[in-house]
Structure 1
Amino acid sequence: MDPSVFSVLILSAYAIYFMLPAYLANASALTFGGGTPLDMGRSLKDGRRLLGDGVTWKGTIIGILIGTGIGLFQGIITGDVVQNLLMIGDPGIFKMVQGTITLTMIQGMLLGLALSSGAIIGDACGSFVKRRFKVERGHPVPLMDQLDFVVGALVFASLIVIIPLNLIITIIIISVFLHLGANIIAYLLGMKNVWY
């Protein structure tokens, strides 16, 4: 295999692995959502809902918990790979436990929390923008629908790790196709009313 192709495949696989807490948080919020909306039914002066019924407390909490748990699990099984590949800084609070499983677990959990929280908040921001532009729930806004949660996750994760530009670009490209594929599967399974 051509080394450059192999490098692209490795980077793509790592991009998916890195974003797994965000991807699963976003999917979990949809799958396990329902109930009380995050905006508590409030509307702004424009008469339109703040977020809408699609963003719920239950989905938000479950999504963040699942994403954080995935991050913790990744921290346990990954060891120092995350630190080596993403150049995670060396905050003073962790210096005494450098290289131990505790450090890796804490880093994984924090990164999972950042990615999942960012994904959920990014998705909520997307809903907020859609409501302001009078886009009804379930109607598509190309690229924003696929990338709002990704941008949120990357912004939050960048607060605790340095994410290389080539990884960011790979994540964005892959996420568009993964999100569309996941939505098509959810539609075929009857979990979504639309395929996009």
Structure 2
Amino acid sequence: MRVIDLVLETLIFIFPSYVANATPLIATKLLNKQTPIDRGKLFIDNRRILGNGKTIEGSLTGIAMGTLCSIILQYLQLHSFRGGVIMSIGAILGDLLGSFIKRRLNIPRGKPLPILDQLSFLLTAEAMYWLLIGSLPMYILLISVVITLILHPLSNVIAYILGLKQVPW
């Protein structure tokens, strides 16, 4: 297989997780209601569990749009519906996990934690896929990490320029 074919296969595979991960940012700008998932509750360390940035509306919209993406990819015979839905849910759970870890480390909302910020959504999605569907080829794992380490920061800068984010990371 040519390198370009491997990259395209990887992009198609991770696309539902990317859609799910990006949608909450857009959804929170469009929706008037933003309900924090943790409802303001504190963890045993007296810090917010997730913070105001992780909302019910954003998470549900992310999963819904990732699922819609999965339907389209299934129709085009490029991805399994089940796999895409699992990747979408995994992406949202990975983003929530990243936020939980950052709160435990006392990193405020909007402040960067390199690598975790870029990869938590992707690696959690891929881990869920591996657990619930089956193993992934190593090249998909490696290429997806490289792609994400490039695309994630770039997409954040674009979102910042468009006024969707308050910070460029």
TM-score normalized by the length of structure 2: 0.93
Aligned to 1:32, what secondary structure does the other structure show?
Answer: helix
Distance apart, 1:116 and its partner CA: 0.6
* Partner residue in 2 for 1:145: 117
* Partner residue in 1 for 2:153: 180
Matches within 5 A, 1:25-44: 25-33=20-28, 35-44=34-43
Q: Which moved more, 1:142-151 or 1:155-164?
A: 155-164
Q: How many residues end up aligned between the 2 structures? A: 164
Q: Alpha-carbon deviations, 1:114-136, whole Å to 9, x = none?
A: 00100000000000000000000
* Partner residue in 1 for 2:74: 75
What is the rounded CA distance, in whole Å, between the counterparts of 2:23 and 2:71 in structure 1?
Answer: 17
What is the rounded CA distance, in whole Å, between the counterparts of 1:122 and 1:192 in structure 2?
Answer: 19
* Partner residue in 2 for 1:88: none
Aligned to 1:68, what secondary structure does the other structure show?
Answer: helix
Amino acid at match of 2:161: L
What is the rounded CA distance, in whole Å, between the counterparts of 2:143 and 2:15 in structure 1?
Answer: 14
**Please, which runs of 5 or more residues in structure 1 have no aligned partner?**
1-5, 83-107
* Partner residue in 2 for 1:10: 5
Identity of aligned pairs, percent? 37
- Is the contact made by 1:69 and 1:112 (CA closer than 8 Å) also made in structure 2? no
Which structure has the bigger radius of gyration?
Answer: 1
- Is the contact made by 1:24 and 1:66 (CA closer than 8 Å) also made in structure 2? yes
Residue number among 77, 80, 87 corresponding to 1:115 in the alignment: 87
Q: Alpha-carbon deviations, 1:58-109, whole Å to 9, x = none?
A: 011110011011111101112xx65xxxxxxxxxxxxxxxxxxxxxxxxx22
**Please, what is the CA RMSD of the aligned residues?**
1.3
What is the rounded CA distance, in whole Å, between the counterparts of 2:69 and 2:154 in structure 1?
Answer: 21
TM-score normalized by the length of structure 1: 0.80
What is the rounded CA distance, in whole Å, between the counterparts of 1:7 and 1:52 in structure 2?
Answer: 44
- Is the contact made by 1:39 and 1:50 (CA closer than 8 Å) also made in structure 2? yes
What is the rounded CA distance, in whole Å, between the counterparts of 2:151 and 2:127 in structure 1?
Answer: 20
Matches within 5 A, 1:44-63: 44-63=43-62
- Is the contact made by 1:12 and 1:170 (CA closer than 8 Å) also made in structure 2? yes
